[in-house]
Structure 1
Amino acid sequence: MSFSHAAAGAALICAATYVIGFAVLLTVLAPLGFGSEQIDAQAVTAFVHAHPLEMIAWNTLIYIVNALALVVLVVGLSLRLRGHQSGLAAMAQALGLIWAGLVLGAGMVANVAVERVVSLFAETPELAVQMWSILHAVELGLGGGNEIAGGAWLLTISLAERRAATLPGWLVVLGVLAGGAGMVTVVPPLGQSAGVVFGLGTLLWFGGVGLTLLRATPPAQV
Structure 2
Amino acid sequence: MASSTKQAVERIERPTRVGRWNYLTVGGLAALTEAAIYVAGIMYFLVILDFATVTAPLQQVELFAANQTSLYAMYLLIYVVFGVVLVPLVLVLHARLKTDAPMLMGATTAFGLIWAGLVIASGMIANLTTGVVVDLYSTDPAQATTVWLAVSPVIDGLGGGNEIVGGIWTLLVSVVALRTRALHRVLNYVGLVVGAAGILSAVPALGEVGGGIFGLTQIIWFVGLGILLLRASRRETSPAAR
Normalised by the shorter chain, which TM-score bucket? over 0.9
How many aligned residue pairs are there? Answer: 216
Matches of 1:212 and 1:161, distance apart in 2 = 13
1:103-146 alpha-carbon deviations (Å, 9 max, x no partner)? 11110111011110222111111111111222211100101111
User: 4+ residue runs of structure 1 moved beyond 6 angstroms?
Assistant: none
Matches of 1:50 and 1:30, distance apart in 2 = 13
Match of 1:168 among 177, 184, 199: 184
Alpha carbons of structure 1 residues 97 and 31: separation in structure 2 relative to 1, 3 Å: closer
Q: Bigger shift: 161-170 or 7-16?
A: 161-170
How far is the alpha carbon of 1:31 from its aligned partner? 4.8
Gaps of 5+ in 2: 1-20, 238-242
Matches of 1:13 and 1:143, distance apart in 2 = 18
Establish whether residue 62 from structure 1 lines up as the match of residue 78 from structure 2: yes
TM-score when normalising by structure 1: 0.92
Q: Bigger shift: 148-157 or 23-32?
A: 23-32
- Structure 2 counterpart of 1:194, one-letter code: G
Establish whether residue 197 from structure 1 lines up as the match of residue 197 from structure 2: no
Matches of 1:59 and 1:214, distance apart in 2 = 28
Question: Match of 2:49, SS?
Answer: helix
How far is the alpha carbon of 1:30 from its aligned partner? 3.2
Match of 1:79 among 95, 113, 116: 95
Max Rg structure:
2
Matches of 1:42 and 1:145, distance apart in 2 = 20
Q: Bigger shift: 121-130 or 210-219?
A: 210-219
Q: Bigger shift: 76-85 or 9-18?
A: 76-85
Matches of 1:29 and 1:86, distance apart in 2 = 44
> Kindly, what percent of the aligned residue pairs are identical?
37
Question: Match of 1:189, SS?
Answer: helix
How far is the alpha carbon of 1:41 from its aligned partner? 1.1
CA-based RMSD of the aligned residues comes to 1.5
Residue 177 of structure 1 is matched in structure 2 by 193
Residue 6 of structure 1 is matched in structure 2 by 26
1:60-94 alpha-carbon deviations (Å, 9 max, x no partner)? 11111111111110001001123224221111100
Q: Is the contact between residue 32 and residue 40 of structure 1 (CA under 8 Å) also seen in structure 2?
A: no
